[in-house]
Amino acid sequence: MSSDIPLTNPVVTPRDIEAVTDMLRRGRLVDTHNRGLLEQAAAEMLGVEDTLAAASFSEAMRLALTSMGVEHGSEVVLPALGQRAWLEAVRGVGATPRFVDIDPRTQLPDREALDSAIGEDTRIVMVGSSDAGMEGMLEAAAVCQRHEVPMVELVGCRLGSQCGPAAAGSIGRVAIIDLSPSSLISAGGGGLIATSDSSIASACRQHIATGYAQCLPEPAAALGLSQLHRIEETVERCHQLAEAYTLHLSGIPELMLPSPGDTVMPIWSRLVVRLDETFSPNDRDEIIRGMQRHDIETATGMVDICSLDDSCCSDQCCPMAHSLSGRSLALPMHAGLSKRDVELVCQTLRLMVQRATFRRSEEE
């Protein structure tokens, strides 16, 4: 579907185009020059010892899990609210997922539930930046450290976020960063593995050398490097858009907006808002369809991945994740949005929410 206002759309500048065409003119398709520069620049920005660029976010997760010793029969603890790709990565290496319900405010694993879920069989804990931001990430890392279990920080599309003094990508033993077109900093595809653990980094490189995993192609690395060089500009634009959305949406009583703490500065690759508890998943889906009829691309937020797994006994295994996943919707967020675009998105959403409210009152 083509929309006048797309959900995600990384800005490609003339400098980005020049970076890729320069690489092509030099005939460096099978070189590693740009990939090496991208890995070095990302490591310096994050304050970690090493980063490795894989062909995709999913490939990066699979490579990291394998390099950390996760194998058939290993237990991996992960939040019930997340992305389908997280579950597929765990199942893909033969591991067994153990789901933890979330804190409704941070949308990250509930601290007490996480503490209880980690056991003798737990090999690693995966925690992803949520639709609500990063508040709670440091607490999750502290729980993992107390249990001496490594945490994989799933940064996803949130490169550039801050949690207090820590940059997203520097909190876990390993971090995975998405460079797909859904990310504000995009290579057109790919994923970064960031770590200061030399043994994990070495294992990742050995797996790539033996062909177990694919590395990021040079054209993508050239684009990603060019985009990374202007990350401060992109981050600033993202903050401006988030402020504009908050200004226009705060007057809609049926909506709950992300409210990161004072010490958290998240980067939104899409702005996820939540309908109140009077709305059903069907109401949410009708609102999304209404937005799309007005050529505004809108999607669901993170999903209840626990309910997608065969081990799930019911939709109420993790009730908070199940409830939030059915009432969340994602709005466009990218540096190419104009002030008028944001106003139009908010006006249309207000109209769709009013229509859904009126329709429900008639049905009652």
Q: What is the pLDDT of residues 3-42, one digit of tens each?
A: 689 999 989 999 999 999 998 888 767 778 999 999 999 9
261/155: higher pLDDT: 155
Give the homologous superfamily in CATH for domain 231-363.
Aspartate Aminotransferase, domain 1 (3.90.1150.10)
**Sequence-distant (≥ 6) Cβ neighbours of residue 45 within 8 angstroms:** 167, 228, 231
pLDDT tens for 88-113 read 999 999 999 999 999 888 888 988 99
Residue 1 has pLDDT above 50, yes or no: no
**Where along the chain do its domains lie?**
14-102+109-228, 231-363
Q: How large is the average pLDDT for residues 321-345?
A: 94
Amino acid at 115: D
What gap in Å lies between CA 159 and CA 48, rounded to an integer? 14
Give 154's strand partners. Answer: 128, 176
For the chain, the straight-line distance linking the first and the last C-alpha, in angstroms and rounded, comes to 34
Q: Which pTM does this prediction carry?
A: 0.92
Which DSSP string corresponds to 181-203?
Answer: TTSSS--SS-EEEEES-HHHHHH
pLDDT tens for 240-254 read 999 999 999 999 999
What is the chain's mean pLDDT, rounded?
Answer: 91
Are 182 and 269 in contact, with CB atoms under 8 Å apart?
yes
At residue 267, the pLDDT reads 83
At residue 265, the pLDDT reads 81
Question: What is the third-level CATH fold of 14-102+109-228?
Answer: Aspartate Aminotransferase; domain 2 (3.40.640)
Residue 158 has pLDDT above 70, yes or no: yes
Q: How large is the average pLDDT for residues 226-235?
A: 94
Residue 162 has pLDDT above 90, yes or no: no
In the structure, what pLDDT confidence band is assigned to residue 268 with cuts at 50, 70 and 90? Answer: confident
At residue 259, the pLDDT reads 76
Residue 281 has pLDDT above 60, yes or no: yes
Residue 331 has pLDDT above 90, yes or no: yes
Pairing mode, strands 75-79 and 122-128: parallel
At residue 315, the pLDDT reads 60
Residue with structure tokens 């994602």?
Answer: 330
Q: Do domains 14-102+109-228 and 231-363 have the same CATH topology?
A: no
